Structure formats: C-alpha cells, structure tokens
Amino acid sequence: MGAAALTLDGLGVDFSGFKAVSNVSTVIEEGELRVLLGANGAGKTTLMDLVSGRTRATEGRVFLFEKDITNREEFVIARSGLGRKFQIPSVFKDLSVRRNLLVASCPSRGVFSNLRFGFPAASRNRVEEVLELIGLADDAQETAANLSHGQTQWLELGLLIVQNPKVLLLDEPTAGMTAAETQKTARIINALRGRHTLVVVEHDMAFVREIAERITVLHLGQIIAEGDIAHIENHPQVKEAYLGSGGIH
C-alpha cells in the first residue's frame, strides 16, 4: 500500500452547540478509492466541507500527504492537490464545454501569469482526452447551461480530472441519474482509479458495490464502521443505525 494521501485526525465542527461532525479520524492511502456511507444528516457533506476548507473545523487537523491543510482557504487547499465535486453539479454555465475544461487546465493560477492568449499544447491535448473520457466530445461547443443533468455531472467530473488533483472528493456523483447514466459515471470513476485517490459519498448501494473497495460509515457525525463491503453489510452497529432508513439494500 502507498503513502497516506489524506489523513483526518480527530476532525470535528461545532455549530454553536450542535456537533455536526466530531472526532473523525481516518487515513486514506494514495490510490485508494474510499466510499463514505451514511444516512441523511450523518455528516458526510459536512465532513467534505471541513476537508475542502468550506467550513472551518473547530477541532482536529487535516493532512494532504505531509501538508497540514486544516482551515486553509479553498483555493490554497485546491492548489495543494485536492479537488471536489459538489452534490449539485457546479460548472461555468455561460462558457462552452471546451472552455470550461480549458479554464480548469490553466497551467498557472495567478492573474498576471494568465495575461496571455491560448493554452499550451499539453493542456489542449489533455482537454481533448478528457472530452473523450467524459463523452462530451461532440458537445464541446455547447454552452454548459444547455447540457442535460447527467452531462453536467460528467462535465464537472471532467473539470476535476483536468485539474488533476492528488485527492478527489466526489459528493454523490450519481445523484439524480438514470441507471444508464450511473453506469457511465461508474466507468468514468473506475477509469480514475490508481491515478487519483478518491473519496466518494454515495447512497446508491448498487453503485457502491460497483466501485467500492473500502467503506467508511458515518452516523450522527461519527465513524461507526470501516472496512470492505462484506464487513460493513454485516456490521451490527451499521444495521442498527440504518434500521430507521430500512437498512442497506
């Protein structure tokens, strides 16, 4: 197994009394694909917010490889190699699909270093590859606003792939997708395996089975179980926690 890509150490947040996430510790290794499981309100998205700097943690620390990224600004965290996909897909809706990806492919991030025309061949090629990968090559000229929901999801994935972060947080990448779309998404994600360390929040067990190797189960803001599918599915606490929502199917 590789080095620790993402390390959470007693991470937690306290919204004036209400502990949405508390004392979460886990180590995600380089190249691993980790699924984050949990009922609504279990704190999955909050946990992602804490890791990606959207919400400030009140306890614990976050390490990206050796680097301490606890409570840094989003763009700093992003630059140090962490990408995030949102539950509600967010892309640049007034730009064409290709331009969306080109923006993500900017070789530098600063204003002044970007005061130049065009993109290096490397980024352009990368963009074309990714267009193929996410299957939007034919819609490259389309304005993102006109894409279907599924396509928008893939475009956002594409942005992340172009951004090429070490660690990728995916918040319900299949939310609201048809079975077919879900399949395709699964293919895309599987294609990312190995190249990126992935953390995926998911409800859809079919999809989880499709991709998961290691699963962490959150309940009421705390980790109650961690292991492979079989381990999780037979975990008493998990069963109990899920009785309300009818257990895992």
Nearer to another protein, 52 or 174 (CB): 52
Name the residues that contact another protein, by CB under 8 A.
52, 73-75, 78-79, 83-84, 86, 90-96, 98-100, 102-104, 106, 109-112, 114-119, 141-143, 145, 156, 159, 163
* Residue of 215, 187, 188 whose CA lies nearest to 200: 215
Task: Give the whole-angstrom CA distance, residue 236 versus residue 202.
Answer: 20
On whether the CB atoms of residues 86 and 94 are closer than 8 A, the answer is no
Closest CA to 80 of 97, 99, 67, 71: 67
Least CB distance from residue 87 to another protein, whole Å? Answer: 12
To another protein, the closest distance from the beta carbon of 42 in angstroms equals: 23
**Residue closer to another protein, measured from CB, 3 or 76:** 76
What Å distances lie between residue 220 and 2, 9, 25, 163, 196, CA to CA? 30, 18, 15, 33, 29
Tell me phi and psi for residue 23, to 5 degrees.
50, 50
**79: its two tokens:** 């630059």
Which of 5, 144 has the CB closer to another protein? 144
Closest approach, Cβ 78 to another protein, in A, equals 4
Q: How far is the CB of 9 from another protein (least distance, A)?
A: 23
Select 103 or 220, whichever has its Cβ closest to another protein.
Answer: 103
Alpha helices, H only, the chain: 44-52, 74-79, 97-104, 121-133, 149-163, 179-192, 205-211, 229-233, 236-243
In the complex, minimum distance from the CB of residue 8 to another protein, in angstroms, rounded to a whole number = 19
Beta carbon nearer to another protein, 63 or 92: 92
